[in-house]
Amino acid sequence: MECDKGSGKFESKNHSECPENISHVCRLQSGFELLDAGVFNDSKMLEIEKGAKELSIPIIRANRKLIASVNGGLHNPSHLVFNPEWSHEKTQLTSKTFNYPSVSGVQRPKSEEDIAFMSILELGHLIKTKQITSEELVGIFLKRLKRYNPVLESVVTFTEELAYKQAKEADQLLAKGVYLGPLHGIPYGLKDIIADIIAVPKYKTTWGSKSFKDQVLEIEAWVYKRLKYAGAVLVAKLVTGSLAYDDIWFGGRTRNPWNIEEYSTGSSAGPAACTSAGMVPFAIGSETAGSITYPAARCGVTALRPTFGTVGRTGVLSLSDSLDKLGPFCRSAADCTIVLDAIRGKDPDDISSRDINLLDPFSVDITKLTVGYIDDAEMEVVHVLQSKGVNMIPFKLNYTVESAQGILNFTMDVDMLAHFDEWQRSGLDDEYEAQDQWPLELRRARVIPAVDYIQAQRARGKLIQEVRASFKVDAFVGNATDWERVCIGNLVGMPVIVVPTGFKKILDPPSNDTRRRTTITTGIYAPPEHDHIALALAMAFQSVTDHHKQRPPIDDLGPNDSVPNPRAKGHTSFDIEA
């Protein structure tokens, strides 16, 4: 449909439409042109109008009522961050402050499978005592990555040449008597996208999207530099959902190793699936709104969403400058602590990153802590911590802001659109892998007024103050994937560690003897800049339980239990040969 405003003539591509509809579309065109957003066709404009009426306007009105009913701006300031510092001096890498527990008497297992599921400290001990080389470990994990990737669809790029080069350097340093610490020679994987995408020179950084699947960024991400400095060895770039949205990417959809008919969820899909399946000892993912917590919970791994600003994001694709966070996916809370120690600290090119003075999680006296548990907490965690001397009390996080989910959506979507303005204007969003995801949300974001974006940030500030006032405990235990709590946690910037707590039967099992399972997890939340408390409590729980040590049945699904065949989507069929 076209509207010639100069002549007053209307040209409709559908001549059956009534004049009222033609006039309505022309008014929409005029409004979009006022926003310099005349790039949308008629159907997209009507779609945006529908979304604005049903979703955006209720959020706008709720925020106005909450914080914009009094003039003068004397209360509820915006929590947008501005840093006027001009200095670009490079920050020196800080020395580690955590005292890692000693490991002794660990012997190299005969089975590569057993090696693949060892902890970072155990693998580090094998390397330090020269029972295994980093090159051998790289070979073991690359073999597993190539073996299981056809069915899990969790790897974008194998960085094999780089991995062997870094492993050889690690082995040579050790031969000279130089040991860099527990990550020396340890293989790992990096998420290949957004608020989470890690850029490594000479290898593609695809952001999971067909629009960028051939992209090579000549930049080293800060987190990659930190891990390289610690001696870790990059073996693969792992799947992120397209532009960091869910688990669908240009090569397929990443599966959950515990139930391969199920998908991994969340944009850190590859890090979660690969860590769960023993394809890497650890991986780095990211979260803007649930991209660490959801896939970690689905795939049954331990993962930390740290305090906002703990880990620098230079070289990492951004969804939202005030929400994006990087964090580790690991076998255990102890492993998460080790990785966090390596990657935390001030990034000189990320103005939101900080040197946060975390205490040593390995030295926290948990008997001096008061920890709350809310009504959806896994009670095994409560009882175990109580048995270890923690003061456990019922708890509820109180706040009056009703639009937390809307505030997060406004913040994330508008920020994301600012980073992908040209992508939308040029029509590349039409190529996106799932049209009901980013394309739909970012079109709605185009018509959110600037004033109402700022009002959302003011409402966010009020929420932060209310949560701070309500947080009367040292930490609390509760569901890690409750959507309201995910929104609150990310808006406030608080850390949470996802902890596996058991398993239950899957719904509609393919056979009675299937070994597939649904994982059960919980979250341990701490106030911002108190990640050490959440880590210490998770380590205490895992010290007397073994849920985090269980292995998914990817090689042993059970008799009469079929394996999905990706061949129908153009992939190689699943081959369980070593």
Residues carrying an active site annotation: 191, 267, 291
CA distances from residue 292 to 266, 286, 381 in whole angstroms, order as listed: 7, 6, 20
Query: Coil, strand or helix: which one is 373?
Result: strand
Do 268 and 196 form a contact (C-beta atoms < 8 A)? yes
CA distance 197 to 213: 13
CA distance 462 to 485: 16
CA distance 134 to 144: 15
Structure-token pair, residue 184: 């020396």
Do 276 and 552 form a contact (C-beta atoms < 8 A)? yes
CA distances from residue 547 to 104, 120, 387, 503 in whole angstroms, order as listed: 23, 17, 18, 8
Closest C-alpha among 314, 334, 311, 466 to residue 397 = 466
CA distance 102 to 124: 11
CA distance 104 to 127: 12
- Geometric angle at alpha carbon 250, from 245 and 254, rounded to 5°: 65
Structure-token pair, residue 369: 């802590």
Q: What share of the chain is helix, strand, coil (3-state, %, to 5)?
A: 40, 15, 45
DSSP string, 503-565: EEPPSS-SSTT----EEEEEEEE--TT-HHHHHHHHHHHHTS--GGG----TT---TT-----
Query: Coil, strand or helix: which one is 2?
Result: strand
Do 184 and 128 form a contact (C-beta atoms < 8 A)? yes
Structure-token pair, residue 13: 């591509």
CA distance 263 to 254: 6
Query: Coil, strand or helix: which one is 192?
Result: strand
Three-state SS annotation for 33-90: HHCCCCCCCHHHHHHHHHHHHHHHHHHHHHHHHHHCCCCCCCCCCCCCCCCCCCCCCC
Query: Coil, strand or helix: which one is 297?
Result: helix
Say how many residues make up the chain.
Answer: 578
Do 237 and 280 form a contact (C-beta atoms < 8 A)? no
CA distance 141 to 362: 28
